[in-house]
Amino acid sequence: MSIIWTAVAGFLTGVTASMGLGGGFVLIIYLTVFAGTAQVAAGGINLLFFLPIALISMFIHTKNKLIEWKLVAPICIAGIAGVAGGVLLLSIVDEDVLQKLFAGLLVFVGLREIFHKKVVEKEP
Amino acid sequence: MSIVWCRGNTIFYMKDFIKKHAKILTGALCGLLNGLFGSGGGVVAVPMLRFFGLEARKSHATSVAVIFFLSIISVIAYSLRGSLEWQTALSYIPWGIAGAVLGSLLLKKVPNSLLRRIFGVVVLASSVRILFFQ
């Protein structure tokens, strides 16, 4: 039974992550809420999981001319400092507090997704 | 009402400050969430990429590239802390790859409004469970 849930969680995370819809939340929620994994460990698993998924998605998105590469570099350079800050906070913040903070982020994301304004897009 | 502060004879507006440093702020916030939770950078990246003038599909696709590079840095940092469970991650990857191929092809074709709303309900329900039942 467990392999079926692993497949469902992995597949759904792959679909949503590749579409930039916050797939990481799917896997972390599954791991922490249903598989009993600690918050930090779940975050690490999601990071490892995301690398090959993102590579494949980036290949297809680049072919479809959907990635604006000139914006990626400046954001990522500043992001290195952000990652360092985030990982530093991991050593300071208690696991329970971290999980509550994550839940707070989920409330924000959930409400934003449910009540988002529908945008009519032209065909790319 | 705008937030304003003064230095000497110069007045600074928060709105202008954010506009001027938007890429740096976006990167720093994405990185912070990615490093802290191992996820969540896209929450900031997607709306900010829209703010930079990209249409929705492009902002979603470009956010994948941004988070990919930040995730490499985060993986290195997590690895140094000894917080990585390679074996568990590997068990999800083959299924994830299948999902990624489908999702990447769907992004060009499917209007994702309904998908976003379903996703929102799942995320909100999970937050309630984490906050009140764990």
Q: Where are the domains of chain A?
A: 2-114
B18-32: per-residue pLDDT in tens?
A: 777 899 999 999 999
Query: Is A11 in contact with B58 (Cβ distance < 8 A)?
Result: no
Count of domains in chain B?
1
Q: Which residues of B touch A48 (CB under 8 A)?
A: 75, 84-86, 89-90
Q: Which residues of A touch B89 (CB under 8 A)?
A: 44-45, 48-49
Q: For residues A44 and B24, what is the distance between their CA atoms, to the nearest angstrom?
A: 25
B1 pLDDT exceeds 90? no
Q: Which residues of A touch B115 (CB under 8 A)?
A: 16, 19, 21
Name the packing angle between helices A39-63 and A95-114 (round to 10°). Answer: 40
A49-74: per-residue pLDDT in tens?
A: 999 999 999 999 999 999 999 999 99
The boundaries of the domain holding residue B115 are 4-133
Q: For residues A98 and B70, what is the distance between their CA atoms, to the nearest angstrom?
A: 20
B81 pLDDT exceeds 90? no
B119-134: per-residue pLDDT in tens?
A: 788 788 878 877 876 5
